[in-house]
Amino acid sequence: MKTAGERRRLIDEIIELGERESMSLPPMMPENWMALDLTMPQLKMLMCIYARGPQRASQIAASVGASQAVVTGVTDRLIHRGLVERGGDPHDRRVVVCSLSDEGRQLGHRLWESGIDRGRKLMEVMTLEELQLLREAVEMVFGVLSRVREKLGVDESVSRESAV
């Protein structure tokens, strides 16, 4: 049975390995992400709505770690750029819901797909054995994330808006 000290040592080694390797590699940001004329809060909000679908400002604020006032300002700027729309909740007229415009959905889709493409390119150079180990590790990590979410009472339903 592993001791708490052994557990801590392994965690520290994994973090150190990740930091060391990440710092030794050139930046790998997809070109279409670098060409965006969006601030980080705008990008976070756009991708939050893309991944989870239309949401109230309070839900977005909780997801991206910002105040509702910040989300309101970011929403205004994204509406001005034609990427986000404000609408009402058909079940409660007092509620305002933010959703992506067609242009916003298309941009979200392109950004999402570019991330998938980068991951695919990295995996294409892996051996079959490495891919099998990676799949097992990813399944394990997502199993842990699921348990953590369950423990915290976090809603796991993710309904990405229909892609383009």
Domains in the chain: ranges and CATH: 4-152 (1.10.10.10)
Q: What is the identity of the amino acid at 58? A: S
Percentage of residues in the chain with pLDDT exceeding 90? 63
> Which amino acid type is present at position 142?
F
Provide the pLDDT for residue 160.
45
Please report where in the chains the tokens 């916003």 appear, as a residue: 104
DSSP H/E element including 111? helix 102-124
Which secondary structure element, helix H or strand E, spans residue 150, and what is its range?
Answer: helix 128-152
Averaged pLDDT for residues 134-141: 96
Quick check: 54 and 158 in contact, CB under 8 A? Answer: no
Q: Nearest to residue 156, comparing CAs of 59, 44, 47, 52?
A: 52
Eight-class DSSP state of 161: P
- In this prediction, residue 24 carries a pLDDT of 78
Whether 144 shows a pLDDT value over 90: the answer reads yes
Read off φ and ψ for residue 53, nearest 5 degrees: 85, -175
**pLDDT tier, 159 (very low <50, low <70, confident <90, very high otherwise):** very low
Residue 25 pLDDT = 72
pLDDT in tens, 88-107: 878 887 888 999 999 999 99
Report the alpha-carbon distance of residue 86 to residue 122 in Å, rounded: 38
Instruction: Name the phi and psi angles at 85, rounded to 5.
Output: -130, 150
